[in-house]
Structure 1
């Protein structure tokens, strides 16, 4: 009985081993089945590929005002110099979209301590501070007079030094027409180059006879001017100019010849190195 059972069990095991193996069906969750076909069909990107993708940063939309403190300080100084001629408060600067010095404390401190900005602590206003405080033609006249009285200073005031002041075109024209200042202008555009104070006490009145004699002197025509100068024993500027140009020419230096290579032989060693006859 025991041998029969063991043989039956062995036969059953052989029958089971010979049967084919079937794979279990895959079970999908409800979340996957609920995904739309368009999104479910998209390929899944691995995390490693995501890290390799480059990030693209968009540019800021408002690039008109630079947030740097020193750049804002430059914009404020230029605004106070060129755009307005009256003191400005912090609210005025903010309303005109120049700078917000209330929010930026560093900019506020820079403006208070800047040498080109005049700060009124009572009214809390800011105004451009030029090198010379000139706002009227009388201020300009007094400046030229003080400059003339100083010792060791050129009496002429270069106009470029007054560039950071307000527009002085009308003041210069009025003072020049009144004879209070003398103006040397550029030949190109007639703009002022040097300004001088005209002290009226040195204006010497001239006799009418002398003025008439001066204007009655005839100047030779351009074609006869050279002959008239030569007749008076004078040289024209062209002759002098050519002479100076010839003298100013640099002398040409002689080029040094390169040293030739010379082959030197030790002739005094020939007898010593030659074999002696036996």
Structure 2
């Protein structure tokens, strides 16, 4: 009995001296997924919110520029706020407007004004601008669409008064306008007009003879072209290859004189 008790005590001592190993536990799917997916989802939501806010800012900037264009004068920040309540001096819309090429910002008065491509407001200003163009060049009408000008009515009025020249498209809408230099228009006598209309242009062969009688010469290029056409045309040697399909001529060279054999 004493031996059994001694063995039992010895077994407990050996068990107590054995090292204790920690049990490894795998993360549950919900814990693992939440640690990876949630930060990514939150980042995506943040990007969407920023993009939505930026789009809202740009929409308000466009509305402010439209308001300035319709006002046709410098407007204060308080006047803009009456139409766009979100507009603030320290807001993003303010920064966009001060850096926009279509807006004139005056810091001294804290005002904003629309900047058209051509600051033309009256018919006289349009005529004066066309007159000062180099070599009296023209102006494309569509470039005046954002100016402070009723383009269609002003152009029609100036064309009627013969102060400008208009080039229209197929739909008869003005496309280009030019300054009409009136001093260059010379009055023509009615007798001269009648004589001009009575002139008849002869046929081409007769025209050539009439010009020679009058001592006039045709253009060199035209004369050279006619001379080339009158030259002797060289015939091209035919390079077509004739195929022999007759079976009774197979084996006979037709390029040589053929003499039949004597019987």
TM-score, length-scaled by structure 2: 0.50
Instruction: Return the structure number with greater helix share.
Output: 2
Partner Cα separation in structure 1 for residue 86 and residue 204 of structure 2: 69
2:129 and 2:147 map into 1 onto residues whose CA distance is 13
The equivalent residue for 2:66 is 79
Contact 2:139 2:178 in 1 (8 A): no
- Contact preservation (8 Å) 1:118, 1:126: yes
Structure 1 residues 39-78: aligned runs within 5 Å: 47-48=31-32, 50-51=34-35, 55=41, 63=52, 66=55, 71=58, 75=62, 78=65
The answer for unaligned runs of 5 or more in structure 1 is 1-43, 148-152, 220-226, 235-239, 244-278
Does the C-alpha gap of structure 1 residues 72 and 208 become closer, same or farther in structure 2, counting only changes over 3 Å?
same
- C-alpha separation in 1, matches of 2:159 and 2:199: 29
Aligned to 1:91: 78
- Distance in 1 (CA, whole Å) between partners of 2:204 and 2:82 is 71
Matches within 5 A, 1:155-194: 155-159=136-140, 160-166=142-148, 167-186=150-169, 188-194=170-176
1:260 counterpart residue number: none
Q: Give yes or no for contact 1:184–1:193 (8 Å, CA) kept in 2.
A: yes
Structure 1 position 129 matched with structure 2 position 115: yes
2:207 to 209, 232, 253: 232
With normalisation by structure 1, the TM-score equals: 0.48
Output the CA distance in 2 between the equivalents of 1:155 and 1:183. 13
The 2-side partners of 1:77 and 1:230 are apart by: 71
- Please provide the CA RMSD for this pair: 4.4
- CA shift at 1:230, angstroms? 5.8
Q: Which residue of 2 aligns with 1:224?
A: none
Cα contact 2:103–2:115 (8 A) shared by 1: yes
Match in the other structure for 1:141: 127
* CA offset digits 1:200-245 (Å, max 9, x no partner): 22322221222333445579xxxxxxx94565359xxxxx9xx9xx
Q: Is there any run of 5+ residues in structure 2 with no aligned partner, and where?
A: 1-27, 212-221, 226-263
